[in-house]
């Protein structure tokens, strides 16, 4: 039985701890026992099969000044590699996204981005699938709705977050545009265990190219965080364009990042299985400029 709305609202109101310590990807089916919203409606990820087509204005991206003098802070959280992207020495978000599409009309600020991946080449690594096809990895750009001021408050509201998912596939073809990893692949040893942090100074303008491509053609639907407590507060935008990422990056992510301090377990397969669509609308957006 699907959880009734009134109960969901109570859970949402009281969900303050955003990243609980006590969950594992090996028993994702049991998350709902400790985190009831994970067993509720509107869960993510899903296999995207659009049942609505719409012509819509491309979301506008407003980047911070001084991206050529940028900084990436990468952290191993034990569940993912999380990145903060910002102009150097300024605690200013990299980008704001202005969406003109219903129901996620609004202005959103980038809070962080992170990756999900699989254990080996050609094993599913993305969380979403497009028509049942998974890719090697998926990047999530997590934005909060400016209406709520910050991420922590936003996760308590149904229209609180917008997450832009970018499906990634491994490639060695350096002639084409690649997902900007900015040399991170050679420094992953320094964040091999949870809690470690890595700072890279770099020109972040390549994220401008990446994000513009990602929002030019996309799917949208209403869903949830894909980790406990699984708040159903996410307007998902998943790019219809799969972006190549270097195989060197994927190989090092799969073999150098551990989920625990004692290096017992490599962090691989940090992806939640697809969830039932349960009558939700999945829209394919065709840009009209």
Q: Contact, 64 vs 92, CB < 8 A?
A: yes
Q: Which is nearer to Zn ion, 67 or 225 (CB)?
A: 225
Q: Which is nearer to Zn ion, 140 or 254 (CB)?
A: 140
Residues near Zn ion (CB under 5 A), total: 1
Q: Which is nearer to Zn ion, 87 or 227 (CB)?
A: 227
Residue 16 has which token pair?
Answer: 């303050």
Q: Which is nearer to Zn ion, 140 or 285 (CB)?
A: 140
Interatomic CA distance for residues 86 and 109, integer angstroms: 12
Which residue has the closest beta carbon to Zn ion?
A: 140
Q: Phi first, then psi: what are they for 12, rounded to 5°? A: -65, -45
Candidate list 84, 86, 128, 140; residue touching Zn ion; CB under 5 A: 140
**At which residue do the structure tokens 């320094």 appear?**
190
Report the C-alpha dihedral over residues 200, 135, 142, 5, rounded to 10 degrees: -160
Q: How far is the CB of 30 from Zn ion (least distance, A)?
A: 19
Site string for Zn ion, 237-266 (x = CB under 5 A): ------------------------------
Residue 201 has which token pair?
Answer: 């100074």
Q: How far is the CB of 45 from Zn ion (least distance, A)?
A: 9
**At which residue do the structure tokens 């625990």 appear?**
260
Interatomic CA distance for residues 130 and 46, integer angstroms: 9
In sequence order, the 6+-apart residues with CB closer than 8 A to the CB of 199 are 71, 72, 73, 74
Q: Which is nearer to Zn ion, 17 or 60 (CB)?
A: 17
Q: Which is nearer to Zn ion, 84 or 140 (CB)?
A: 140
Q: How far is the CB of 7 from Zn ion (least distance, A)?
A: 25
Q: Is 82 in the site for Zn ion (CB under 5 A)?
A: no
How far is Cα of residue 28 from the mean position of the Cα atoms in its chain? 18
Binding residues (CB under 5 A) for Zn ion: these are 140
């Amino acid at each position: 039985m699907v959880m009734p709305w009134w109960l969901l609202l109570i859970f949402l109101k009281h969900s303050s701890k955003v990243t609980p310590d006590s969950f594992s990807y090996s028993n994702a089916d049991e998350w709902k026992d400790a985190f009831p919203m994970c067993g509720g409606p509107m869960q993510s990820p899903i296999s995207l099969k659009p049942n609505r087509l719409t012509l819509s204005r491309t979301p506008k991206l407003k980047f911070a000044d001084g991206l050529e003098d940028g900084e990436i802070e990468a952290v191993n959280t034990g569940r993912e590699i999380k990145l903060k992207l910002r102009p150097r020495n300024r605690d200013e978000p990299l980008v704001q996204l202005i969406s003109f599409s219903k129901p996620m009309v609004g202005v959103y600020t980038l809070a962080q981005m992170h990756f999900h991946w699989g254990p080996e080449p050609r094993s599913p690594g993305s969380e979403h699938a497009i028509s049942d096809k998974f890719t090697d990895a998926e990047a999530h750009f997590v934005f909060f709705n400016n209406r709520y001021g910050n991420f922590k408050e936003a996760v308590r509201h149904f229209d609180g977050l917008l997450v832009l998912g970018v499906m990634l596939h491994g490639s060695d073809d350096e002639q084409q545009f690649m997902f900007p990893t900015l040399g991170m692949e050679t420094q992953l040893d320094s964040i091999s265990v949870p809690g470690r942090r890595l700072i890279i100074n770099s020109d972040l303008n390549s994220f401008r190219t990446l994000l513009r491509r990602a929002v030019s053609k996309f799917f949208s639907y209403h869903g949830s965080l894909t980790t406990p407590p699984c708040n159903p507060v996410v307007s998902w935008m998943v790019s219809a364009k799969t972006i190549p990422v270097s195989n060197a990056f994927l190989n090092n992510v799969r073999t150098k990042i551990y989920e625990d301090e004692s290096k017992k377990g490599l962090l691989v397969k940090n992806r939640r299985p697809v969830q039932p669509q349960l009558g939700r609308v999945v829209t394919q957006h065709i840009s009209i400029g």
